[in-house]
Amino acid sequence: MMETKRILIDKNDIRDEDLLEAARILREGGLVAFPTETVYGLGANALDEEAAKKIYAAKGRPSDNPLIAHIASIDQVKPLVKEIPEAGRKLMEAYWPGPLTIIFWKSGIVPYGTTGGLDTVAIRMPSDRIANRMIALAGVPVAAPSANLSGRPSPTTADHVWEDMNGRIEMILDGGPVGIGVESTIVDVTEDVPVVLRPGAITMEMLKDLLGEVKIDPAITGPMRPDMHPKAPGMKYRHYAPKADMVLVELSDETREKLEDKEGAFVKEVEQRIADQAKCPSIRPEDYLLALEVDKLAEEAAGKGLKVGVICTDETRSEYVEDDGLFYAVRSMGIRAKEETIAHNLYRVLREFDDLGVDYIVSEGFSRTQLGQAIMNRLTKAAGHKIVKI
Q: What track of x and - describes contact with ligand AMP for positions 113 through 142 (by CB under 6 A)?
A: --x--x-xxx--------------------
- With CB under 5 to 8 Å by kind, the binding choice for 336 among ligand AMP, Mg ion, none is none
| Closer residue to Mg ion in complex, CB, 58/294 | 58
Residues in Cβ contact with 126 at an 8 Å cutoff, skipping those fewer than 6 apart = 36, 37, 38, 41, 70, 97, 98, 99, 132, 135
For 190, residues 6+ apart whose C-beta sits below 8 A from its C-beta are 85, 103, 104, 105, 120
146 sits near Mg ion (criterion: CB under 5 A): yes
Helices 204-211 and 86-95: crossing angle, nearest 10°?
Answer: 120
231 binds ligand AMP (CB under 6 A): yes
Q: What is the DSSP letter of 387?
A: E
Min. distance of Cβ 62 from ligand AMP in angstroms?
Answer: 10
Q: How far is the CB of 71 from ligand AMP (least distance, A)?
A: 14
Element (H, E) at 381: helix 371-382
In the complex with Mg ion, the residue whose CB is nearer, 146 or 380, is 146
Is 103 a residue that touches ligand AMP (CB under 6 A)?
yes
Specify burial of residue 3 (Cβ count, 10 A radius: 0-12, 13-18, 19+).
Answer: exposed
Separation of alpha carbons 208 and 94, rounded Å: 13
Q: Which listed residue (30, 35, 43, 66) binds ligand AMP by CB under 6 A?
A: 66
Considering just the CA atoms, what is the radius of gyration of the chain in Å?
A: 22
- 318-377 residues in contact with ligand AMP (CB under 6 A) are none
Angle value at C-alpha 112, between 83 and 137, nearest 5 degrees? 75
Across-strand partners of 90? none
**Candidate segments 15-23, 64-72, 313-321, 340-348, binder of ligand AMP by CB under 6 A:** 64-72
Name the strand (E) or helix (H) holding 122: strand 120-124
Instruction: Select the span of 80-88, 146-154, 186-194, 309-317 touching Mg ion (CB under 5 A).
Output: 146-154
Q: Which residues inside 133-192 make contact with ligand AMP, applying CB under 6 A?
A: 145-146, 183, 186
Q: Which is nearer to Mg ion, 164 or 299 (CB)?
A: 164
Residues that bind ligand AMP (CB under 6 A): 65-66, 68, 103, 115, 118, 120-122, 145-146, 183, 186, 197, 231-234
- Which residues would be at the binding site for Mg ion (CB under 5 A)? 146
